[in-house]
Amino acid sequence: MPKLIDHGERREEIASAAWRVILRDGVGAASVRSVAAEAGLSPGSLRHVFASQSQLLAFAMKLVIDRADARVEALTLRGTGLQSAEDIVVELLPIDEERVIEMEVYLALFAASGSDPMLRDARHDVFTRVRNGCRRIIYLIDHGQNPKPEAEIQGEVTALHALLDGLAAHLVWQPTEMDADQARGIIVSHLRELASRRKND
Amino acid sequence: MPKLIDHGERREEIASAAWRVILRDGVGAASVRSVAAEAGLSPGSLRHVFASQSQLLAFAMKLVIDRADARVEALTLRGTGLQSAEDIVVELLPIDEERVIEMEVYLALFAASGSDPMLRDARHDVFTRVRNGCRRIIYLIDHGQNPKPEAEIQGEVTALHALLDGLAAHLVWQPTEMDADQARGIIVSHLRELASRRKND
DNA sequence: AACTTGATAGTACAATTGTACTTTTATAAT
DNA sequence: ATTATAAAAGTACAATTGTACTATCAAGTT
């Protein structure tokens, strides 16, 4: 029997090396060679784990959401639905360096996914998971209220998702014009207005 | 004296060829050669007009906003501030094919601008122009109301801008999950709530 | 008609890319 | 100790890249 390697772990190592390259030099520079060098591997070794560049980048994209999911799951939720919703949403914003890195990679790969079938699949998967997170948040706010028609809930989920991604994009791409406190304030007041509107009707 | 060419017009021709390439094959495929071929020119000719690839892509990015600006300027504004604001915002959303194309190019270049100095400048310029458009919209809604503290207006401008870009991104990247009517509805109800909140206090 | 000069075409080159392939190394079962 | 085999390294190759360069074309001034 030969040497055996934990493929899952190795994949994460390589993907995080890809993150570093994307952060430093952009998606365009994330070639098989440069990522392999960043990970301290030979291109041949990398190819042993990821059969193609698309696979590598798709994995790197999904890893972003895995990490965010893990952080949200680890949250101990506070009292009211609104408070918990705020905690979750804030966790999804790129408010510290670690989260900025993740978000930058997320957006770069999203925008670069173009027509590559593998990246398109990953993009759709990631989009759906974030959308579901937004749905959970809206349900949390709804908790204890009169149930609303599904169509209205859909609209609110969609709006929250768009606002969240827009804020994230601005935080990453124009940090001089948007800072974490501002973004947090916008999201929190959006949720509060939503909750108070619910109470009033 | 030799043949003289309208450089401005030629630049727009080449930039729109670049748009087509970016749409068809993604930003990564927008090489000097492929864009030249799409425009029916030789790479040498293209280089005569754009000294580098960065210049070409930066120009292509700014052209998107020039077009959108022109459309907004051409609008004959309707009655109340709120109605006009709605007209403008809707004009900025990618609701038909022409606008989808523009937005796709806008986002692709935005995300690819990474650390290229020329693209960074163009990105900042474009961001500022959209931000100013949002400011104009908020002022339109404010029109005739009690003037609000500047800080509050800033927050509303920032939020509107983020929501707008987020909706645009989803329309372009996940058209199956977000359609033009939905996006328009979200933006319009956002503006209406904003206006009614103004009236109440 | 000759010429000047911008516009265009074409070619060349070094660098980098994704992928395929072969060789070497290391480890666990026999 | 031998061996089977996964992992890693290394090499090769065709294709594409940005840019530089030279040659050709065309138009308007003289």
Gap between the Cα atoms of B32 and A24, Å rounded: 24
Lowest average pLDDT, out of A113-117, A157-161, B65-69, goes to A113-117
Q: Which pLDDT does position B201 carry in this prediction?
A: 58
CA-based torsion, A13, A175, A27, B111: positive or negative: positive
Give which of B93, B165, B179, B189 to mutate to test A binding, by max A Cβ within 10 Å: B165
Q: Which pLDDT does position A91 carry in this prediction?
A: 86
Q: Which pLDDT does position A100 carry in this prediction?
A: 85
CA of B32 to C1' of D24 (A): 22
Using only C-alpha atoms, chain A has a radius of gyration, in whole angstroms, of: 19
Residues of B with CB under 8 A from a CB of A: 25-28, 107-108, 110-116, 123-124, 127-128, 131, 155, 158-159, 161-167, 169-170, 173-174, 177-178, 182-183, 185-186, 189-190, 193
Q: What b/e sequence results for B81-120 when a residue is b if at least 16 CB atoms lie within 10 Å of its CB, and e otherwise?
A: bbebbbbbbbebbbbeeebbbbbbbbbbbbbbbbebebbe
Task: Please determine, for residue B79, whether its predicted confidence score (pLDDT) is greater than 80.
Answer: no
Residue type, B58: A
Tokens 């304030």, residue located? A185
Q: Which pLDDT does position B1 carry in this prediction?
A: 63
Count of positions (residues) in chain B: 201
Contact in structure between A166 and B161 (CB atoms under 8 Å): yes
Helices (H), chain A: 7-25, 32-38, 43-49, 53-74, 81-92, 97-112, 117-142, 150-173, 180-200
Most confident of A85-89, B59-63, B124-128, B158-162: B158-162
Mean pLDDT of A118-133: 92
Mean pLDDT of A133-152: 86
CA of B42 to C1' of D27 (A): 20
The whole model's pTM is what?
A: 0.92
Average pLDDT, chain A: 90
Gap between the Cα atoms of B174 and B176, Å rounded: 5
pLDDT tier for residue A201 given thresholds of 50, 70 and 90 = low
pLDDT tier for residue B158 given thresholds of 50, 70 and 90 = very high
Mean pLDDT of A74-102: 85
- List the nucleotides on chain C closer than 7 A to a protein CB: 4-12, 16-22, 25-29
A/B interface, count of CB pairs below 8 Å:
117
